[in-house]
């Protein structure tokens, strides 16, 4: 019953969240000359941050929190792996 009630909303949140991550990475690509998104595969800070924030992002509807999670991902992209 819970899956029936919450399932569509959770799926919508998941899709929107991963779209936001993609947009953030694209913005970095456009802003930073030497930024190559393919390098993120080996960036453990980025992968860890995406996993941790994704769990939290799907659990909330609050725009402020989602924006904070997005900033954390952007910051993890810019740190040395």
> What are the pLDDT tens digits along the chain (81 aa)?
767 787 889 999 999 999 999 999 999 999 888 899 999 998 999 999 999 999 999 999 999 999 999 999 999 887 655
Q: For the whole model, what pTM was predicted?
A: 0.82
Give the C-alpha separation, 60 to 10, whole Å.
9
Q: How far is CA 54 from CA 13, 16, 34, in A?
A: 10, 11, 26
Which domain range does residue 27 map to? 2-78
Per the structure, the count of domains in the chain is: 1
């Amino acid at each position: 019953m819970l899956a029936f009630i919450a399932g569509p909303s959770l799926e919508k949140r998941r899709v929107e969240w991963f779209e936001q991550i993609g947009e953030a990475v694209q913005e970095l690509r456009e802003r930073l000359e030497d930024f190559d998104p393919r390098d993120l595969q080996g960036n453990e800070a980025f992968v860890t941050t995406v996993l941790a924030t994704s769990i939290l992002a799907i659990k909330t509807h609050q725009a402020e929190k989602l924006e904070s999670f997005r900033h954390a991902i952007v910051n993890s992209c810019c740190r040395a792996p």
